[in-house]
Structure 1
Amino acid sequence: METMQNKPGLVRRNGTYYARLRVPKNLREQIGKAEIKLSLKTKDRAEANAKLSEALVSIHRLFAAALNADKAVTPEAVEVGRGVLEQIARDWFRPRWEACEDTVWQPIPPGRSVEELIDIIDEDIAHVMSPDESIYGQYLYQARKLLGKLGYPNASGASTETLARYMIRGEVECLNMARRHHVELDLHHTIRDPLFRPVVASSEVGSAAAPVAQKNAVTVAQAIERFRNDPQRAGLSKKAIVAYETGFNLLLEIVGGNFPLVEVGRDHARKIRDVLANLPANVTKRFKGMTLLQAAQHAEANGVEPIAERTASNSLQAFATFFRWAKQEQIIADDAFAKGLKPTQKKLSKQESRQPFADADLDRLFSAEMYRGSYSDIPEKEQARYWIPLLGLYHGARLNELCQLEVADIREADGIPFMRFTQDSDAGEEKRLKTRNAERDVPIHPVLLQLGFLDYVDDQKRAGHVRLFPHITMSANGYYSENFGKWFGRFCDKQGVTDARLDFHSFRHGFNDATRSAKADGDVVKGICGWAAGSSMRDRYGNGYSVSRKLEELVKVRFPVVEKLLPLQGVNDVHNKD
């Protein structure tokens, strides 16, 4: 049974995910077990994450039934509104905060130093921010009991988990106050987490009290909800949604959900920019229990690497887009304050940013055992790992373009096999291309043909597969490339290619360099790679270059250091007898 990191209560056995909690000692005799496991009936991590909260609540219902605190069978789950959950959390937090204030003013126990007390607080903060299965289960149990007491005995798992996370935030807020009291001699004990401030309290920006909502004014929370439900947003990718959600969550933390949207101004926008400058990557996974503001402060104080400049820029652009939408919807009169914000973190220089693979790197990668023989010698589930790096190397295609290819995308025109990168899908899936120019036909390089790529395509047809690489799984963000990219990163490390500037996209850089070295026609190369050919009126007409014309330039691209390693007929016969 494998325990999943960063997801208390989630375990995996033989590929299937389960929810698991230890039974409290006082209930083990009555229940007859030391732990409860419920199958989530899935081998997909994202689906398991979605089902976990309901399963954990179901287990706690068993515990509650054993204590006669609830009936074993309950009516249908009820979703509790976010505003209600926030108010419940504030009411729960108030006496806890007051009790903690009383505690910090007590004399330090005899025989214990201030340093030891701070170490204990730091240890408690670490445990609460990254709770293990037992601690997280306790908060879920407390949250459910509190909801039941307040008239929500059948609150949904999602509602219960949200309240539990609010309670964890409250614990962290109290512990941080105690730490500041002893370390910084901060005796004012200001509540810094906006969730637990009174609704009329001052915001994170400036010291003026939050303005009273104008009659019929749309609040921040209402505007965000309307934006999310706007039909024009339905086509957003999950990556784009993440960019919006980061800005939304920061805005809610800084001004609060009840703040009138019309009162948001440049100071708030600058605050969001400044937080993004220190916000660490994967913040919700790495810093559970922290608000985004707290995580940014923690990262800045401890030298944690912030998100990339491009990621911050995407969030700021999404922020500006949201307020442009609000202006179009006549919710606000002016959106100028949200425009022109630039990330303040350092933009990587050309030398620091992504680089092409050098010959020595390519030698290490393609010296791997799987490239010494035929693809058919490799287990079927791993054959994508053979083909996709080679396709990237010889065609300069983006990783997700390759991962989402379908069997029907491999075609032939005038005797020339080619790949069609398109959003059309025989599988009925949502295929994503980066730009309009990314929809294109690319001839298959002769090296791939000699390695048997068309035989592989026929294998997938005979097996009845729609997707060309059917064993690549989609990640939670809706892209096939993410999981494959993680494997490729591990593969690079294994082969000794450890430069942080190198990843799968380095193939695209290397392909571009190879076309320059071969003096390939630049405009044809743009058609192969899916870049816009130019800005002249002429470039807007016609279908671009034919497959045969593209092939004339593509065959100029060669990688001798790789071809010495591959089982190419007449090139590497001796090597493969070794």
Structure 2
Amino acid sequence: MADTHLQCRNGTWYYRRAVPKHLVQAMGKSMVFHSLHTTEKKKAKKLREIEDVKWSAQFAAFEAGEAQPASDVAKVAIGERELLELVRAYVERNSRQFDERETAIPATSAERRDAVENIERDISILRDPDDLRADEWIGAIGGKLLAEAGQEPKSMSSTNDARFAEVVRRGLLELSRRKLAHYQDDFGKVFFDAEFDPARPKPLRFEELANQYLLMQIEEAEANGMSAKWQDKIKAQVTLVRELIGDDTPVSAIDYDLCLRARSLLAKTPSNRTKIYPGLSLEAAIKKAAEEGRPLMAPVTQATYLDTLRGILRLAELKRLLPHNPASTLRPLKRDAEKPEDKREPFKLEQIKAFFTGTFYQSCAPNAPVPYAKADREWRFWLPLLCLFTGARPNELCQMPPEDVKCSANATWFLDLVVAADDDDDASTGQPAKTLKNVTSRRKIPIHPELLALGFVEFAKAKQKAKAERLFSGLKKDKYGNWASYSLKRFRDTFLPEAITVGPKQAFYSFRHTFRDALRRSKAGPDTLKALGGWSQGSVTSDNYGDNSDPDLHFEAMTKISYPGLDLSYLQPAKEVTE
């Protein structure tokens, strides 16, 4: 029994399936027809099974009102490619039949002369844009091809109609010129229009180009030890860009207009779309988000996806698949009104005071009537204090072994931190942080006198004596190797909101921003900003000379860090009384 969902044309297998009658109007077509991009029947059968499942789910989604027709971007691009393949197949089929017929039945000189005159007349008709006979001819052949493919001309846009008509015209012209050459015994050319070159390579689909780009990015990331999280973000960006452009879009068909349409779609895409609307197509998610009033993707995040599109098309440019990059100047529709430094707000002094004198820290006082004694006391107690008085990133502190609490030759205690990146590092730019797994860069931060008074050095020494692997041994790293994930979640969901009212732009990272504000208040110079927090104030040649990481150089600057109104003396360990 023949497989009604498979059809072979010119050696290539196509998927063909009728749309249920009650869904034809909603979907805007009566037939699903597209190439499976294979010449192997066995592979085509496997792909057909996948397509059956996909389209059955799509039909069910339409019946439930949960799906919408594909975007105009995808319709135009996919339609053009498949229709071009139909015309190519028609030209090759008819050309082959003509050659076989003419070989079997030689024509007389008179017949050849008449045939040449008829063909020359046909060519003239096809080349005359005002000849109505050409329109009738093109319409008849075009309608026949569409009917064979299960398509309906009325379901296509006028723009697509005109483009398809032009392809049909060129196909008919190609056939006529081949016939004319045959009758004139001119066998110097196999084809006349490059679009109908029988030996032409198949046009590269955008999906294939995007995957090539992704493989290059992942290969580079692995060679340079980039974090798994960075790699996952790149994969997510490429996946969305493929949806915006359309997997089946020929790379050669991508122009500035298509890039503009992609940008418009991106501007309507809801934030966290895959989490909020898992399984929904991009178009369906956009419609649902608009109905529910969901926030849209931030301009800075949109820019990262446009950067990815630009990178993919740059690859096409380098491979000479495109004459230029149509996305080279593309920017988000809406400008980002916020400066990067304004995207995260520091805590106010009143919030700092309320948090560090609240119920939890009161329970940590040496003479507390009800002492806090849970297993997670260590990181819950020290992490906010360390971030407030060192400006270190949470992951830098959570991954730190006790041995990295050191003392210089001049008796300056400091944290010898391995530089790491957190989610907040790329929050202002939207770019995935290119964290190195084997990073060797270090930052030496002198320990603030307040931390010394609270007994932090003694705490670290006890951990060293116990041979603990990390300062906060109760924490475990997440799948991306981040040791701070759990603690940050607990502070975000419970500890911070229980103690203070957290603003919309505030989070645990606000402690680091608060430390930077304190540095500004102390009039710290660029060298200190860079050495203590890793904040660069621009680059000059002298930055590369000398050792700016010496903690002795910056201890005095650290002593000037203060938070007016904050008194933590009640948390200091009781001093032993000596007789």
Same fold by TM (over 0.5)? yes
Matches within 5 A, 1:433-472: 439-472=442-475
5+ residue gaps, structure 1, are 1-87, 105-149, 181-189, 425-429, 572-578
Contact 2:407 2:413 in 1 (8 A): yes
Secondary structure in 1 matching 2:65:
helix
Partners of 1:407 and 1:439 in 2: how far apart?
A: 15
Counterpart of 1:219, as a letter, is R
Distance 1:261 1:196, change over 3 A: closer
Deviation at 1:549, TM superposition (A): 1.1
Deviation at 1:305, TM superposition (A): 0.6
Match of 1:505 in 2: 509
Return the alpha-carbon distance in structure 2 between the equivalents of residues 316 and 205 of structure 1.
27
Choose which of 353, 361, 368 in structure 2 pairs with 1:363: 353
Give the superposition deviation at 1:515: 1.7
Contact 1:525 / 1:553 at 8 angstroms: preserved in 2? no
CA 1:206/1:442 → structure 2, altered by over 3 Å: closer, same or farther? farther
- Distance (Å, rounded) in 2 between the aligned partners of 1:216 and 1:195: 19
| Pair 1:549 & 2:537 matched | no
Q: Which residue of 2 aligns with 1:36?
A: none
* Structure 1 residue 394, shift from structure 2 partner: 0.9
Which deviations, in whole Å up to 9, do the C-alpha atoms of 1:162-198 show, x marking residues without a partner?
99787655533443389x8xxxxxxxxx555999999
Match of 1:385 among 380, 383, 405: 380
TM-score normalized by structure 2?
0.60
Letter in 1 for 2:416: R
Deviations 1:76-102 (A, max 9, x none): xxxxxxxxxxxx9987xx556445449
* 1:377-421 Cα shifts (integer Å, max 9, x gaps): 543334212222111111122333333333343333223222223
Determine the C-alpha separation between the residues in 2 that align with 1:493 and 1:165: 44
Mapped to 1, the partners of 2:407 and 2:25 lie a distance apart of 78
Q: 1:68 corresponds to which residue?
A: none
| Contact 1:518 1:557 survives alignment (8 Å) | yes
Tell me which residue corresponds to 1:309: 299
CA distance in 2, matches of 1:322, 1:356: 38
Mapped partners of 2:440, 2:158: distance in 1: 46
Alignment of 1:268 onto 2:264: no
Runs (5+) with no aligned partner, structure 2: 1-12, 28-44, 83-155, 168-194, 421-432
Do 2:214 and 2:234's aligned partners in 1 also have CA atoms closer than 8 Å? no
**1:395 alignment partner in structure 2:** 390
- Does structure 1 conserve the Cα–Cα contact (< 8 Å) formed by 2:391 and 2:512? yes
User: Are 2:316 and 1:336 equivalent residues in the alignment?
Assistant: no
Structure-2 separation of matches of 1:196 and 1:175: 22
Indicate the residue corresponding to 2:412 in structure 1. 416
Q: How does 1:219-238 map to 2 (within 5 A)?
A: 219-230=205-216, 231-234=219-222, 235-238=225-228
Give the SS at the match of 1:488.
helix
Q: 1:354/1:447 Cα in 2 relative to 1: closer, same or farther (>3 Å)?
A: same
| 8 Å CA contact retained: 2:519, 2:561 | yes
CA distance, structure 1, for counterparts of residue 534 and residue 157 of structure 2: 44
The whole-number CA distance in structure 2 between the counterparts of 1:193 and 1:306 is 21
| Cα offset, 1:532, TM superposition | 2.5
For residue 400 of structure 2, what is the aligned residue in structure 1?
Answer: 405
Q: Specify the code of the residue in structure 2 equivalent to 1:340.
A: T
Structure 2 letter corresponding to 1:492 = L
Q: 1:239 to 1:103 in 2, by over 3 A?
A: closer
Number of aligned residue pairs: 419
Bigger radius of gyration among the two: 2
Q: Deviations over 1:184-226 (max 9, x none)?
A: xxxxxx5559999995468999954799896254322222322
Deviations 1:510-539 (A, max 9, x none): 212212222233421222110225422212
1:524 maps to what in 2? 528
Q: Write the distance in 2 (CA, Å) between the matches of 1:346 and 1:171.
A: 39
Q: Greater shift after overlay, 317-326 or 555-564?
A: 317-326
Change in 2 beyond 3 A, CA 1:380/1:282: same
| Pairwise CA distance, 1:290 | 0.9
1:486 aligns with 2:482: no
After superposition, give the CA deviation of every residue in 1:97-140 in whole Å (9 maximum; x if it has no partner). Answer: 44544999xxxxxxxxxxxxxxxxxxxxxxxxxxxxxxxxxxxx
Match of 2:543 in 1: 539
In structure 2, relative to structure 1, the CA distance for the partners of 1:191 and 1:218 (3 Å cut) is: closer
Q: Which amino acid aligns with 2:65?
A: N
Contact 2:349 2:564 in 1 (8 A): no
- Specify the SS of the correspondent of 1:337: coil
1:279–1:266 distance in 2 versus 1, CA, 3 Å: same
RMSD: 4.6
SS of equivalent to 1:315: helix
Equivalent residue number for residue 60 of structure 2 = 171
- 1:254–1:268 contact (8 Å) kept in structure 2: no
Within 5 Å, which residues of 2 pair with 1:154-165? Answer: none
2:114 is matched with which residue?
A: none
Aligned equivalents of 2:295, 2:14: Cα separation in 1 = 31
Amino acid of the residue matched to residue 452 of structure 2?
L
Relative contact order higher in (CA < 8 Å, ≥ 6 apart)? 2
- Identity, % of aligned positions: 23
Corresponding residue to 2:201 among 185, 201, 215: 215
